[in-house]
Amino acid sequence: MSYTISDLCNGCGACMRLCPVDAITGEKKEKHHIVEELCIECGACGRICPEGAVINSEGQVCSTIKRSQWNKPRFDEKLCSSCNICIDACPVNCIGLSEARSAKDPHGYPYLREEKACIGCGFCADECPIDAVVMA
């Protein structure tokens, strides 16, 4: 499945610069294109597009959302088992593992190491088997 770009595209290139898997091609001011096999359906292009030109895998037009309002992961350390699944799931490698919490709890926990890099895809929350990550 893949996202697609409609004729509403104005070729601004914002989606192309943001795509975590380099799946978008296009010239300046010309309609851009998503390579189907590469798309991982993170939704970043849809959120950033100012023209509503991105259509998701279900055929719905994506709404523009101001980047500062995109959801970010919140990590619940009480539930977290430090298994690294969320860290590995992140397509932009923006989640890090902290230093050991304490002598009693010598495990590291996930945290947003690069908050600005987060594209709000929610894969971290999606893949956590025990609901220790929530997008908010």
Which of 59/129 has CB closer to other proteins? 129
**88 near other proteins, judged by CB under 8 A:** yes
**Of 30, 35, 61, 74, which lies in the binding site for other proteins, with binding defined by CB under 8 A?**
35
As given in the structure block, the two tokens for residue 116 are 């600005």
Number of residues located near other proteins, criterion CB under 8 A: 27
User: 52: part of which helix (H) or strand (E)?
Assistant: none
Query: Tokens for 102?
Result: 């304490």
**Which amino acid, one-letter code, is at 60?**
Q
Q: What is the number of other CB atoms lying within 10 angstroms of the CB of residue 96?
A: 14
Q: Is 81 in the site for other proteins (CB under 8 A)?
A: yes
- Dihedral sign computed on CA atoms, order 44, 17, 66, 85: positive
**CB-based burial label for 67 (10 Å; 0-12, 13-18, 19+):** middle
Shortest Å, Cβ 128 to other proteins: 8
The residue written with tokens 């851009």 in the block is 32
Selected binder of other proteins within 5, 49, 82, 124 (CB under 8 A) = 82
Interaction of residue 40 with other proteins, rule CB under 8 A: yes
130 touches other proteins (CB under 8 A): yes
- Binding footprint of other proteins on the chain (CB under 8 A): 20-23, 35, 37-38, 40-41, 81-85, 88, 91, 93, 99-100, 106-108, 123, 127, 129-131
